[in-house]
Structure 1
Amino acid sequence: MDQLLLFFVSLIANLFSAFSGGGAGLLQLPVLIFLGLPFGVALATHKVASVALGIGATVRHLRESTLERRFAFFILAAGLPGVVIGASVILHVPGRMAEVALGCLTLGLGLYSGSRKQLGQDHQPSHRDRAGMVAGGAGLFFLGMLNGSLTSGTGLFVTLWLVRWFGLDYKRAVAYTLILVGMFWNGTGALALGVLGSIQWGWLPALLAGSLIGGYAGAHLAIRHGNRWIKRSFEIISVLVGIKLIIG
């Protein structure tokens, strides 16, 4: 029964995450803790499972050929060092205060996006000069630290940063987030947490299956329904994640 519960929780959480550009930890991480895992073990196990979300979404998004290779490498180079630093710090730091602060910021993301009706509806690349890329890379480095240390909602930050700073539409931003953050950032974080802590390997088959199927299905829905639906989903998930982090 635990394995079946893990599969369905993972499927639902990752389907919505793949559609909106983040937020799988809203449901998946609390369930792992509820079933008896300590926070550090639950976080590492969730990170490993989230890699399958990235793989499932990648399989679907690569068929659309909308990603720029050089920009994708830039996101990886800027964010991965932050992921490693964040993962190495979180196991030694009480997380409650950080979760409340992150919750307030995540809630703000949803409200900000909702107040700007045209945000992310058109692809208008911006800040691609040297100064803009340096500032954008610094933002991605900071978001990488958040991703390595706190799992709920950090993908939402990356999605909105790509929309607001670099001028991507929501559809492209979600694709970058799911592929690069879901697969590579989370994979690096899982490796760091696995080395420094431990992973509940016996629970991973159900979680991986749900993440893989949910990631593919969510990416398919995002591609079919376009920017307006993705924007609305992003805002709803951001508000829910923010409230969940604040109330604990």
Structure 2
Amino acid sequence: MTWADAIIAVTAGLLISIVTTPVGVSGAVFLLPVQLSVLDVPNPAVTPTNLLFNVVSGPGALLRYRRRGSLASPLTRLLLLGTLPGVVVGAVVRVFAVPGPGVFRVIVAVLLLPLGVWLCLREPPPPDRPASAAPPPQRGILGLALGVGVVGGVYGIGGGSILGPILVGRGLPVAVVAPAALASTFVTSVAGAGAFAALAAAGQGDIAPDWGIGLLCGVGGLVGGYAGAHLQPRLPERGLRLVLGGLAVAVALLYAGQVALQR
């Protein structure tokens, strides 16, 4: 790895995290094209490298949210309660019955594209009036977290890019969703990284992460995540929803493009 690659890795992690952290998305999915096209990370190693980025970068934003008191919320506990067993189930599914990643990407694209457009176009309710959409019940949130945890265990994603748009679309404010989604992403990434490390040690394919790229991107994300979490209270709800909706549309288009290129 050259000095230029190191600078690109740190800068990419920094800039992506500054933009995505305020809305509860780690940004690892947006590192994918940088890793593949610019840093030449081989395709099997991209997933564990992204998980390594989440593990290293996550504590920056979580520390900032914890100091502000927004991390210890009922939503955070519900998401963690669902994602932890979900990751375990996902790891088992990955070993014994892994569905094709193309199917997963199509489902996510179909889900996130209209949801992202709706978040961008829908006006948030005034601060003195409750949201028109009732927040989802606790059982529904727990089921959603469990499903995202399973997906995280199978495909090695954090899940914030899925949890955030759905929960905000159901009426929860971004300021509440973001720290909870990032905490869930961090936990699933730690478990996913451990699963990939075990599979790599067992010799089941060349799936070890690119440690240098993952750590450097993570260091940039650590600083960017802390800065992004610091900026969040200074941003209006409308602006945060636009960012989240735009990220959801971008993820949907990215996944759709990957599926189209594989055909």
Using structure 2 for the length normalisation, give the TM-score.
0.80
Question: In the alignment, which of 101, 111, 121 is matched to residue 117 of structure 2?
Answer: 111
Deviation at residue 220 of structure 1 after TM alignment: 1.6
The residue number in structure 1 matching 2:180 is: 176
- Residue 229 in structure 1 maps to residue 239 in structure 2: yes
Letter in 2 for 1:215: G
Instruction: Decide whether the 8 Å contact of 1:10 with 1:214 is kept in 2.
Output: yes
Instruction: Decide whether the 8 Å contact of 2:71 with 2:180 is kept in 1.
Output: yes
Range that drifts further, 65-74 or 221-230: 65-74
Residues 1:133 and 1:245: Cα distance change in structure 2 (over 3 Å) = same
Identity, in percent, stands at: 25
Residues matched between the structures, number: 243
Range that drifts further, 92-101 or 204-213: 92-101
1:88-132 CA distance string (max 9 Å, x none): 54575431232132122221220222343126967779668xxx3
Instruction: Decide whether the 8 Å contact of 1:143 with 1:154 is kept in 2.
Output: yes
Q: For 2:181 and 2:156, locate their aligned partners in 1 and report how far apart those are by CA, in whole Å.
A: 14
Q: Which segments of 5 or more consecutive residues in structure 2 lack a partner in the other structure? A: 201-207, 259-263
Instruction: Decide whether the 8 Å contact of 1:123 with 1:169 is kept in 2.
Output: no
Instruction: Decide whether the 8 Å contact of 1:25 with 1:151 is kept in 2.
Output: no
Instruction: Decide whether the 8 Å contact of 1:57 with 1:216 is kept in 2.
Output: yes
1:222-246 CA distance string (max 9 Å, x none): 1211322111111111111111111
User: For residues 1-248 of structure 1, what are the structure 2 equivalents within 5 Å?
Assistant: 1-22=4-25, 24-34=27-37, 35-90=39-94, 92-118=98-124, 132-150=137-155, 154-165=159-170, 167-178=171-182, 180-197=183-200, 198-248=208-258
Q: For 1:86 and 1:37, locate their aligned partners in 2 and report how far apart those are by CA, in whole Å.
A: 25
Q: Look up the SS of the partner of 1:199 in the other structure.
A: coil
Range that drifts further, 66-75 or 195-204: 66-75
Q: Which segments of 5 or more consecutive residues in structure 1 lack a partner in the other structure? A: none
Q: For 1:52 and 1:242, locate their aligned partners in 2 and report how far apart those are by CA, in whole Å.
A: 25
Instruction: Decide whether the 8 Å contact of 1:23 with 1:241 is kept in 2.
Output: no
RMSD over equivalenced CA pairs, Å: 2.8
Range that drifts further, 104-113 or 238-247: 104-113
Q: For 1:160 and 1:211, locate their aligned partners in 2 and report how far apart those are by CA, in whole Å.
A: 21
Letter in 1 for 2:89: I
Q: For 1:153 and 1:117, locate their aligned partners in 2 and report how far apart those are by CA, in whole Å.
A: 28
